[in-house]
Amino acid sequence: MGKVFYSVGGEGRGHATRVRALVENLRVRHDVTIFAPAHAYDLLAPAYERTAVRVERIPGMLAHYNTRKELHYLKTGWNAFRYMTGLPRLVRRLQRAVEREHPDLVLTDFEPALPRAARRCGVPYLSINHQHFLLTYDLGSLPPELQKQAALMGKVVQSYYSGQEETIVSSFYFPPLKKNECGRVTQIGVLLRPEITQQQPQDQGHVVAYLRRFASHGVLDALERSGRDIRVYGLGVRPPSGSLRFYDVDIMRFVEDLASCRALVCTAGNQLVGEALYLGKPVLAMPEYKNYEQYINAHFLKHSGAGTFVEMQDLSPAVIHRFLERVEEYRSHMDRSRLNGISAAMDIIEKHLPDRPVPEAHPEMRGLAGIEVAA
């Protein structure tokens, strides 16, 4: 049994879902403490409230959006400046925790403070996230503009931390690695939570739409005019509108609807797209405006043949119908066996942890913790 500190960055559900998927495996043999900011903390803390896993809140960098649902660069930049000025204080706080509790290993999902604290204390750390694809994947197949944006975003990723023992990149797509990045980099599939892997997929004909606050009225109008049975998550409960039914993001309802749907319409986040493809569900992705990481995800989704993408403003009933007509073709291009990255990630993590006897599991550690769906 080892002691693991695990930090998560980002405010989306995708980061929290990746962390939770691994923690469900780690907590069987190891003592785990999670450090999470903002929305990630709000999702993870209730999930582990009655377990041996500790979840502590830390500051994080948050994005801001304007009234047109576009990224507000000034406010986002100001928040980043405030975070960076407070980063030394946060590193000292986490360093004290490391010195006090002596973890055997630190894991980080795109969070910069805990790796710095671990490095000061001489504790090894691993990077496990999706974002490091920007530094490690050969992105030469992207259109020139996306290659340019990827290079700029890669500089930001590079500034977060360095010196990790290994880099694990979790993704639903697998282009070649850069030739000089093959040494300590491992490509794995999506980190799937147990609710996903336990499902028996069916096709009951309905469509699931997972939307965020970026969804415009035009998106809902196109979905409604398609005339399909569409179950909408992410916008909260609303009265039915034509063939649309709106639901809260309840973990089991969502997963069951996803496992039994014909296809998924969603934004182009890596985690949810990967979960859908693992369940054999073709994806019609809509990258968020100026979210270049999502545009890259969407490019590789289309390239894989397992789905396609459309600009949000171009979604129409005709686009939806054409997508659904090709569902069987999309399914024929899916390789579900490669999409589950849990075993590969755990193999790498375990080799960095001490092999000590595991005490008998406390009753509170049995069973699964709940968390909302990932974006």
Domain match, 126 and 265 both: no
pLDDT tens per residue across span 342-361: 999 999 999 999 876 655 54
Distances (CA, A) of 336 to 39, 255, 282: 30, 17, 12
Q: What integer pLDDT is reported at residue 12 of this predicted model?
A: 62
Alpha-carbon span 358 to 364, nearest angstrom: 16
Q: Please tell me whether residues 158 and 216 are part of one structural domain.
A: no
Question: Is 301 inside a domain boundary?
Answer: yes
Judge if 58 and 123 occupy the same domain: yes
Same domain, residue pair 239 and 186: no
Q: Are 52 and 365 in contact (CB under 8 A)?
A: yes
Q: Do 141 and 288 reside in the same domain of the chain?
A: no
Same domain, 37 and 176: yes
Structural domain includes residue 371: no
Is residue 370 situated within a structural domain? no
pLDDT the model gives residue 126: 98
Does some domain include residue 226? yes
The 10s digit of each residue's pLDDT in 17-44 is 999 999 999 999 999 999 999 889 999 9
Q: What is the CATH number of the domain that holds 322?
A: 3.40.50.2000
Identify whether residues 161 and 214 lie together within a single domain.
no
Q: How far apart are CA 276 and CA 233, in angstroms?
A: 14
In this structure, the answer to whether residues 209 and 180 fall within a common structural domain is no
Mean pLDDT (the chain, rounded):
90
Asked whether residue 169 falls in the same domain as residue 265, the answer is: no
20 with 131, same domain: the answer is: yes
Tens digits of per-residue pLDDT, 174-232? 999 998 755 699 999 999 999 999 999 999 999 999 998 667 789 999 999 999 999 99
Share of the chain above pLDDT 70, in %: 87
Summarize the confidence of residues 164-173 as an average pLDDT. 97
Q: 281 is in which domain, residue-wise?
A: 195-337
User: How far separated are the first and last CA of the chain, in Å rounded?
Assistant: 32
Comparing CA positions, the residue from 143, 192, 182 lying closest to residue 345 is 192
Give the count of domains, the chain: 2
Tokens representing 109? 């999902």
> Do residue 182 and residue 205 come from a single domain?
no
Question: So what's the pLDDT on residue 38?
Answer: 87
Task: Tell whether pTM > 0.75.
Answer: yes
Residues 187 and 48 in one domain: yes
Answer yes or no: is 372 within a domain. no
